[in-house]
Copies of this chain bind each other. A is one copy, B any other.
Amino acid sequence: MGDLGAILLPVSYPHRRLISTRWADNDVYGHVNNVEYYAFFDTIINAYLIEQGALDIHAGQVIGVCAESHCTYHAALAFPEAVEGALRVGELGRSSVRYELALYREGSDDPAAEGWFVHVFVDRASRRPVAIDGRLRSALEALA
């Protein structure tokens, strides 16, 4: 009582995206290969940034480079079912951001996998870190 801090609030993800699986995702054991989970992470993050007008992957001066990623696998996914991806920003720095992600079998409330992914934003030509600002920063702040 008076100790609300001790109550673990469920993590909530402000952004969600449905991803269709593909025949080739299933590996020899009949489920989506662990590698594809990272392809889903990549897809959720970049599609969000592009659709927000925060990242121009073809001609923008600033690009996002992956510095670190991680995934914990809880349950199997399998083609042809769809995957629901969920995204939030866990930490937003000057030139880098740590995303936190979850993947769900469509219709399920229990994540099949949880992970995180660190993007460092760099200059396209020099590949040196740049400050996150403008539409990119606001798009990321909206997920915090």
Contact = CB atoms under 8 A, between A and B. Distances in A.
Interface in A30-59: 30, 33-36, 38-40, 42-43, 45-47, 50-51, 57-58
A23 B51 contact: no
Contacts of A73: 65-68
Interface of A: 18-24, 26-30, 33-36, 38-40, 42-43, 45-47, 50-51, 57-58, 63, 65-73, 79-80, 124
Contact of A20 (B23, B43, B72): B43
A19 to B, nearest CB: 5
Given A28-B27, A30-B28, A35-B38, A43 B68 contact: no
| Residue among A22, A30, A65, A79 with the highest chain B CB neighbour number at 10 A | A22
B47 A24 contact: no
